Each structure stands twice: as C-alpha cells, then as structure tokens.
Amino acid sequence: MTRQKVLDLYFMESRAKLIDLAAFLDRVDRAEGQDDFRIKAFRRALTELQKADPQRAKRVLLSLSDPTAEPIKCATTKAATGAWPDAP
Amino acid sequence: MRYIEPHAHMVSRTTDDYLAMVTAGCQAVCEPAFWAGFDRRSVDGFYDYFCQLTEHEPKRAAKFGLPHFSWLCINPKEAEDVKLAGEVIDIIPQFLARPNVLGIGEIGLNKNSRNELAVFEKHVDLAARHRQLILIHTPHLEDKRKGTQLMVDALKADRRIDPGRVIIDHVEEHTIESVLDAGFWAGMTLYPESKCTAARAVDMIELYGRERLWINSACDWGVSIPLAVPRAALEMRQRGHAAKKVDDMIYQNPVLFLSQSGKFNLPA
C-alpha cells in the first residue's frame, strides 16, 4: 500500500481514537483520587508513540507486560488488568 | 468467499450466529474446550461438557449445514486445582477417537503459575502419548509475553513435540516472532478490545507472511464477534490483497494445519 492509501483508509479512524485518548486522559485528570499502576503504565506506554523505531505496537505491548521469567507460586485471581502491577 | 472458523466457542452462541456464519461463507467451525465463566466442581461436569462438544454441538451445527469439530482439555483458568485437573485429563482419552475430535486444546497458561505450568505439561504429555494435535491458549494482556515464552520453552524441551503440529493462539506483535521462529503455527484472535484488531492482524500478515498463520474470532460468552474472520478478509481486500491470498489465510491455512489430525474432512 502507498502511504496515501494508508492515510485514506485509516486516518479518520485513527484521528477519532487519538481524540478519545486525549479525552480519556482529561477525564482521569478531572477525577478525584490517586493514580494507580494502570494509568502510570499507560503514561509510560504513551512515550513509545513518539519514538522513530517502527515497532511501536510491539514496544507498547512490552511496556505493559510482566517482564519477569519465572512462574509465580500460585494464581490468586483469574483476571488480567492490562498492566503489570509490580512495575516501578 | 469461503472460510474456516478455527476457534469458536459455539456452546455460548446463538443459532442466529450459526446462520450468520454460514451465510458469510463459513465451511467448518472448530471448538476448543474452555472455561465456562465459572469453575466446575467435579470431573462429572467435564464429562458432560465433553459430551456436549462431541455429541450435541455437532448436531446443532449440522442443522445449519456446518461441520463442527472440537478440542478437549481442562482450561488453564481451572488448573490451580491440580487434583481435579488430573482427574479431567484422565477421562480425555476415552473421547479422543470420536469423529469430530481434532486434538488437545485449548491448553495453556492464564496467570503463569507453577500449577498451571504443571497441568500444561500434563496435557502436552497426553497429546504426545496419543499423537494428538495441540491448540494453545496464551495468557491475557500483561501476562501474555511471559506465558508465551514459558510454553515455547517447555515445548522445545520435549523432543516428542513436532512444532508443525502445534498452534499457539492469541499472538500479538510482541509474541508472534518467538512463536513462528520456533517453528510453531500462530493464531491471531480478533477481539474488539483485548488481543488483536483486524487491522493489526493484517499488519502482521504483511510483516511476517502467510505461512503457519491463521486468524480466528474465538467468539464466546464475552464481548466477541462471530463474523470477525470474514471482516478481516474484507480488511485484506480493502488493502489490495488478491483473492487467492485472502483464501490462503482464511481457508487454506486452517485446512493445512487441521488436516494433520486425519479427521478434518469437509464435504466435497
């Protein structure tokens, strides 16, 4: 695909997602209370978008992932949250 | 257009979904055993579920002219109870000869615990002893990278396992390379929020090629789209991919992998 074709197909959809993202961050800022590990991870992941390396999707996913290698002792929940709670 | 839905939990779907899938060109549906949304309390619950997957659901699909196949296991979400998991694994062999059973799946990890890994390895051993295909679920969200690597390492350490007979499902941009590089098949699951969108799946097809890759909806009782595969095909066509390439991805590739079971026979 040419860049023009990519833009023709995906610009409007991505523009809408970008504005949704901005509105989400505004909503978080307006809300009372403290940040939790999810929004901290989210803000870290956002910095990946401005880097020139083309593997942005992969880097965003990695930044939200558990980086450890060993199995945990036992599962205390079945759910995933979307971000690694133990990130510094 | 014709396509195979290689991963769908049809026991959770309506007859309207069957009708829509067949109307869209679905030629066969494959249903891995999975978590019901609650933990089953006894091996009898699984016995009944395996009967549902191998007796009742194929009849329901047949009413729409759709061949139905299944995979059997205890899902990793129920693997912390190692005793129950062992009892369930023990009853699986009596179902393996049934005509619609393709193999062991979807086994895998959920939170990457030691018990989950032990139950995963028991399933792999079962598949190896009975020469079954393997369908693997990789964990959700933040747990996916680690869980995928743990399972790739465990499979590579078992010399009985032929990677060409194993599909590792729910890959995303951060896991697809390690799966394909190790010789396994990779599945991309199209979900509205978690896992992968159609646009990202087509990106990965363009980046990594069509070999040893399939796409599926994994539609179940949660937010999911039974027609996600034909919608991804539309995405490919919008980008200018030829009809043959689309057919390779959504029909020929699943047929190639699943035919290794010896049971994946479609009506002429």
Asked if B143's CB is within 8 angstroms of A68's CB, the reply is no
- Same domain as A60, residue A40: yes
3-state SS string for chain B: CCEEECCECHHHCCHHHHHHHHHHCEEEEEEECCCCCCCCCCHHHHHHHHHHHHHHHHHHHHCCCCCEEEEECCCHHHCCCHHHHHHHHHHHHHHCCCCCEEEEEEEECCCCEHHHHHHHHHHHHHHHHCCCEEEEECCCHHHHHHHHHHHHHHHHCCCCCCHHHEEECCCCCCCHHHHHHCCCEEEEEECCCCCECHHHHHHHHHHHCCCCEEEECCECCCCCCCCHHHHHHHHHHHCCCCHHHHHHHHHHHHHHHHHHHCCCCCCC
- Same domain as A18, residue A40: no
Interface pTM, i.e. ipTM: 0.96
| Total domains present in chain A | 2
Q: In chain A, what residues touch B145 (CB-CB under 8 Å)?
A: 61-62, 65-67
- Same domain as A55, residue A39: yes
- Same domain as A18, residue A28: yes
Residue A70 located in a structural domain = no
Residue A74 located in a structural domain = no
Query: Which pLDDT tens digit goes with each residue over B112-143?
Result: 999 999 999 999 999 999 999 999 999 999 99
Q: Does A54 touch chain B (CB under 8 A)?
A: no
- Same domain as A47, residue A29: no
Residue A78 located in a structural domain = no
Q: In chain B, what residues touch A10 (CB-CB under 8 Å)?
A: 199
Query: Which pLDDT tens digit goes with each residue over A13-70?
Result: 999 999 999 999 999 999 999 999 999 999 999 999 999 988 999 999 999 999 999 9
- Same domain as A58, residue A48: yes
Within 163-192 of B, beta carbons closer than 8 Å to A belong to 172-174
- Same domain as A27, residue A13: yes
Domain ranges of chain B: 3-261
- The pLDDT score that the predictor gives to residue B40 is 96
- Same domain as A43, residue A27: no
Residue A49 located in a structural domain = yes
CATH class of the structural domain B3-261: alpha beta
Residue A76 located in a structural domain = no
Domain region containing A15: 1-33
